[in-house]
Amino acid sequence: MSRRISTLGILALALMAGFARPGLARSAEAQAAPAPTTAEAQRFVSEAEALLLDLWIEAERASWVQSTFITQDTEILAAQANARKNAATAELAKRATRFDGLSLPPDVARKLKLLKLSLTLPAPSDPKENAELAGIVAGMESAYSTGKYCPGGEAPCVDLQEISDTMARSRDASQLAALWRGWHATAPPLRDEFARYVELANKGARELGFADTGAMWRSKYDMQPDDFAREVDRLWSQVKPLYDSLHCYVRSNLARTYGSTLVQEGKPISADLLGNMWAQDWTNIYPLVAPKGGDPDFDLTERLRANSYDAMKMVRTGERFFTSLGFAPLPDTFWQRSMITKPRDREVVCHASAWDIDWLDDLRLKMCVEIKAEDFATVHHELGHNFYQRAYSTQPPLFRDSANDGFHEAVGDTLALSITPPYLKRLGLIEREPDPSADIGLLLNQALDKVAFLPFGLLVDQWRWKVFSGEVTPERYNGAWWELRRRYQGVVAPVPRSEADFDPGAKYHVAANVPYTRYFLATILEFQFHRALCEAAGYQGPLHRCSIYANPEAGRRLKAMLEMGASRPWPDALEALTGQRQMDAGAMRGYFAPLERWLGQQNTGHACGW
């Protein structure tokens, strides 16, 4: 068998070697060239966008195959494609600094800025180290995705999805602790690889002029890194009182199930008792904390199954929400090429994600859809990514992204907030809307998802920022992780932990190098978006009962923001939709105001806090 190197590969390798096509090459003559000009910057940006688009598509195709057909070969192919993309991007980002301080047209200046900030994995310039870094990340993701817990060290073993399903249902404290311990035991082998990944990523970030990788990540929000960290703290301070009230109420109710020895007032909650491996989503324990007489009279999971929903119908229903707002249907290729159910013949990454393979219209969903309420909402969320991707596909390549990464996550969740009883009735999933007296139950169930998530959404990157900066060294990885979880979430590990463990690696986004603050921002933004869209729709009433389904004016407002992509700073995009230029958690507090008042009443006499 002969080896074939594509023209794309030659271009990328040439760029890495420093003798790519004119305008991108860095020769001795170029280094001694006169001061840069506007025309040179415009030419550089144009040629960089063309090259990067080719590399993005190549890497996306390789990553798709790796995620939907996990083998050693697909892992290597994905790593190689990402190495080429990362090396070229890093080299272009370094060359873009040549134009720093030059007065440029706003669009060119913004493209150069975005180019320098486009990497989440900054590659060192050394080709061997670049390849090593790409291989480490591909390997950590695959190791995470194929991890299994074998009770007693013997078959049959169970994967994360099976473990999660059991944790959602079980009320056996000893079983929950065993499952929690079993999954977290898959992470320690990643510890040394992760430490090396930090070392290499930081080297790449410093070559780009950043203090470390965490500082580079925080620089992507149209403000200075330290200013962004303060902005995140400000948003958390707005919503912390709501979280504290929810934590107090849940803890007092869990004590009734597990006893006051296991769940104590004034103390953190054991992380395995909250129905989710990371205690980031508490909806599975709703039956244990449901309000008396304030519960909706339907179970959405049961209603979906009773109405013969399968995976395809779940996704078709999500698409119909967007088309009801005036968006065009998804292309035929979406239905032909997506992975909507889990294949039986191979290992795949089931973690739900939306893909734009060619940055134009080859949109795909990768998800192992199950017929349950959680996945019904997830489908709406992931399709939000797809419709956002298509909306900005007419922008130049460097603008084909969301205003900031929190926007991308927020759009789908904004639509999911419209999965209200009026919407479910229009779908025929329920015959009548529950009485308003059931609103507390609906809001509590939603708070167990949205509000409970906030501190975890914050602390994952708080930990990584400290790791990247060197404040937390490998010798303190696990201890620092649990300090943050106790501080922000008010949870503790169910079994003793030490530095022989590597519990951060038991979370996909850590193993796969996916920044996480975007999810915290998205949870704040979705309520701000929802409030604005409901106002655009002319809705009057409690915000938690608003659905923008089939409202063309709300769709027009949403589409106008999506089409902007990353062409303008995020405050401009926020203002286009909401009329505000600052992120505001007040919308979330307003949405949950009836619940927050009720929680205050329920918590009377209990020792809140930890």
On whether the CB atoms of residues 276 and 163 are closer than 8 A, the answer is no
Cis peptide before 296 (omega within 30 of 0): no
Q: Considering the candidates 144, 149, 309, 519, report the single residue annotated as catalytic.
A: 519
SS3 content of the chain, % helix, strand, coil (to 5): 65, 5, 35
Catalytic residue among 385, 408, 530, 544: 385
Give the tokens for residue 140. 């950590």
Does residue 451 contact residue 250 with C-beta atoms inside 8 Å?
no
Within 8 A by CB and 6+ apart from 608, the residues are 244, 245, 247, 248, 266
Select which of 132, 141, 193, 382 is catalytic: 382
Q: Which two tokens stand for residue 25?
A: 């090459």
Tell me if 420 sits within 8 A of 547, measured CB to CB: yes
Active-site hit among 255, 352, 550, 593 = 352
The structure tokens 């797809």 sit at 386
Per annotation, catalytic residue among 129, 374, 509, 606: 509
Residue recorded with tokens 């009735």:
425
Look at the block and give the residue holding tokens 């590659």: 123
Question: For tokens 């190197």, what's the residue?
Answer: 5
Distance (Å, rounded) from C-alpha 482 to C-alpha 426?
45
- The single-letter code of the amino acid at 219 is S
Catalytic-residue membership of 380: no
Helices (H), 325-449: 332-337, 373-391, 405-416, 421-427, 439-447
Compute the residue count for the chain.
Answer: 610
**Distance between CA 34 and CA 100 in Å, rounded?**
14
**Rounded CA separation 577/558 (Å):** 7
Q: Is the dihedral of CA 510, 566, 394, 520 positive or negative?
A: positive
Q: Does residue 530 have an active-site annotation? A: no
| Contact status, residue 527 vs residue 502, Cβ threshold 8 Å | no
Which one from 247, 351, 380, 408 is the annotated catalytic residue? 351
Tell me which of 184, 247, 380, 381 is the catalytic residue.
Answer: 381
Amino acid at 410: A
CA distance 610 to 600: 17
Examine the residue annotation and report whether 447 is marked as an active-site residue of this protein.
no
In terms of Cβ atoms closer than 10 Å to its own Cβ (0-12, 13-18, 19+), residue 471 is exposed
The count of C-alpha atoms lying within 13 angstroms of the C-alpha of 189, restricted to the half-sphere facing its C-beta, is 11
Task: Exactly one of 193, 409, 526, 596 is catalytic; name it.
Answer: 409
Tokens of 226: 């330290």
Cβ atoms of residues 523 and 450 within 8 Å? yes
Is 509 tagged catalytic? yes
Number of Cβ within a 10 Å radius of residue 163? 19
Token pair in block for residue 489: 């979430």
Distances (CA, A) of 183 to 145, 150, 164, 397, 507: 12, 9, 10, 40, 10
| Signed CA dihedral, 594, 599, 605, 608: sign only | negative
> What type of residue is 503?
D
- Tell me which residue has tokens 């008396």: 292
Quick one: tokens of 284? 């599975």
Residue 385: active-site member = yes
Instruction: Map residue 341 onto helix, strand or coil.
Output: coil
Active site positions, annotated: 351-352, 381-382, 385, 409, 509, 519
